[in-house]
């Protein structure tokens, strides 16, 4: 029997990250559920995985803190023996017209979405076993260019560019590197502050005429992390029901 594959999922305590963690666990991965502050939510994910017969631990880390991220990877290697897949699902969203943008909000977005992705990807590039997978998270709004999303899409545009460079840098190790870019997805982060009319309008935009679900995105990630998805490399996969 081959050794169990191991996945580290940042932002794994809620929303899309939670769905990714539980989906990968259902596919047979041992999972490290990375979280920043939601310890009880991360514990719930671990309990869900272990109750279903899987293996999981929670690991606290601010993704922008290189020492904390290194410690999270250390925990993964100590508990499970190595790392095969890293999914950086931790992210921050802040909305404002560019003319009114609070630069403190811009700096916070930069710290989590850009620096956090770089720190996690740097550690992944050093530690993921040959033949593994690194997945970052972007957004389909990079293509939609919706008003008030300027700072957010600027951060995710940087994520996409970095992801494509890293894919080329890992030549020779059989490691794939891709970004997944969800469209409007029914998470707490997305629904917060939106009225019912706005949500219904956005749900009608894709030809499939609904919002995505966290599970929709998790299935794309699981495919990319599987042997079946290993020929996809250095790509931005727009998982949005055909909206763009």
Tens digits of residue pLDDT in 45-80 = 999 999 999 999 999 999 999 999 999 999 999 999
Whole-angstrom Cα distance, residue 53 to residue 51? Answer: 5
Domain span at residue 43? 6-239
Q: Is residue 1 part of a domain?
A: no
Tell me if 119 is assigned to some domain: yes
State how far the Cα of 40 lies from the Cα of 141, in Å rounded to an integer: 31
DSSP string, 67-130: HHHHHHHHHHHHHHS---EEEE---------GGG--HHHHHHHIIIIIIHHHHHHHHHHHHSPT
Residue 2 has pLDDT above 70, yes or no: no
Sequence-distant (6+) residues with CB within 8 A of 21 are 7, 9, 12, 31, 33, 45, 49, 56
Residue 192: which pLDDT band, with cuts at 50, 70 and 90? confident
pLDDT digits (tens, 9 = 90+) for 147-182: 999 999 999 999 999 999 999 999 999 999 999 999
Q: Is 35 a catalytic residue?
A: no
Global pTM value: 0.95
234: in domain = yes
Which of 29, 35, 149, 152 does the annotation list as catalytic?
A: 152
Say how many domains are in the chain.
1
| pLDDT computed for residue 169 by the predictor | 98
As beta bridge partners, residue 60 has 35
Identify the residue with better confidence: 193 or 112. 112
Report the CATH number that the domain containing residue 142 is assigned in CATH. Answer: 3.40.50.720
Nearest to 79 by CA among 23, 32, 140: 32
pLDDT tens per residue, range 199-219: 899 899 999 999 999 999 999
């Amino acid at each position: 029997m081959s050794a169990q594959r191991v996945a580290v999922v940042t932002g794994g305590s809620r929303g899309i990250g939670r769905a990714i963690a539980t989906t990968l666990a259902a596919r047979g991965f041992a999972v490290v559920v990375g979280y920043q502050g939601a310890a009880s939510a991360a514990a719930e994910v671990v309990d869900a995985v272990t109750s279903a017969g899987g293996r999981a631990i929670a690991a606290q880390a601010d993704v922008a803190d290189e020492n904390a991220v290194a410690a999270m990877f250390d925990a993964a290697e100590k508990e499970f023996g190595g790392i095969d897949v890293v999914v950086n699902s931790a992210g921050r969203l802040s909305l404002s017209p560019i003319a009114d943008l609070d630069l403190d909000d811009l700096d916070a977005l930069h710290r989590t979405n850009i620096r956090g992705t770089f720190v996690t990807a740097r550690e992944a590039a050093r530690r993921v076993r040959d033949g593994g997978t690194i997945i970052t998270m972007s957004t389909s709004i990079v293509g939609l260019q919706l008003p008030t999303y300027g700072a957010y899409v600027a951060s995710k545009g940087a994520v996409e560019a970095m992801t494509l460079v890293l894919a080329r840098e890992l030549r020779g190790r059989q490691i794939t590197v891709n970004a997944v870019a969800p469209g409007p997805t029914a998470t707490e982060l997305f629904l917060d502050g939106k009225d019912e009319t706005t949500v219904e309008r956005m749900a009608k935009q894709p030809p499939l005429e609904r919002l995505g679900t966290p599970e929709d995105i998790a299935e794309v990630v699981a495919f990319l992390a599987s042997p079946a998805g290993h020929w996809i490399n250095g790509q931005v996969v727009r998982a949005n029901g055909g909206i763009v």
